[in-house]
Amino acid sequence: MESTTAWGDAEGRRRDILASAEKLLAEAGYAGLTMRAIAVGAGVSSGTLYQYFDGKEDVFVALMAGRLESLQVTLDGLDRGIGIAGLCKEILPQVREIWRLFGRSAQQWQAKVLAGGPRGKRAVASATVFRKMARALDRALHETAAASGRTLVDHPAMAYWVWDSLIGLADDIVHGGSLQARVSTNRLVDFAAEAIERGIVAMP
């Protein structure tokens, strides 16, 4: 595929590269994410690709960081009057897309971004983006609860539990698990969002 991005447009070239990588990741997972295939899909040479990224790990974490940053922007901008269940349902489409793209590569995300040990600068930066997103989620949940005169359970794992619950819900939607039991996606989402709300609101 020949790139149509203008010569000298570095940001456009980077977008082309990431778009190519995201398509490969969605189709074949981390194993299919090779620098050669990314270059072909972006319409650039391998040499050009390495001017932007050191390797496929860097591409992978850049893709994840971009999705997490977008989710953080959504969280910061949500109306706090929609309620906690409403907040969960509002961000679920983005969480679902994150899981659709990265779910098959969850072990790579854990090993290359969240785990300790030597990591590239981009991997460290992506882990930082994840923590910022988690803080944005925690803040949005507390502010949304406060808008309706309620408080949340006081526990440092609360936002991470909500995140994991949403990931589990996203996994079911992506793979159609509830549909096999003849439970519609809308009913599942409504039930799960309300269950999350009940699980984190402090008892009076």
| Tens digit of each residue's pLDDT (9 = 90 or more) over 38-56 | 999 999 999 999 999 988 8
**What single string gives the DSSP state of each residue in 17-72?**
HHHHHHHHHHHHTGGG--HHHHHHHHT--HHHHHHH-SSHHHHHHHHHHHHHHHHH
Q: What phi-psi label fits residue 147: left (phi over 0), alpha (psi between -120 and 50 degrees) or beta?
A: alpha
What distance in Å separates the CA atoms of residue 130 and residue 125, rounded to the nearest whole number? 9
pTM reported for the whole predicted model: 0.85
Three-class secondary structure of residue 195 per DSSP: helix
Per-residue pLDDT for 90 more than 90? yes
Q: What's the mean per-residue pLDDT of the chain?
A: 88
Q: d(Cα 91, Cα 72) in Å, to the nearest integer? A: 10
Q: Give the pLDDT of residue 118.
A: 47
Contact by Cβ (8 Å): 55, 121:
no
Rounded to 5 degrees, what are φ and ψ at 113?
-115, -50
Q: Which amino acid is at 64?
A: M
Asked if residue 9 has pLDDT above 70, the reply is yes
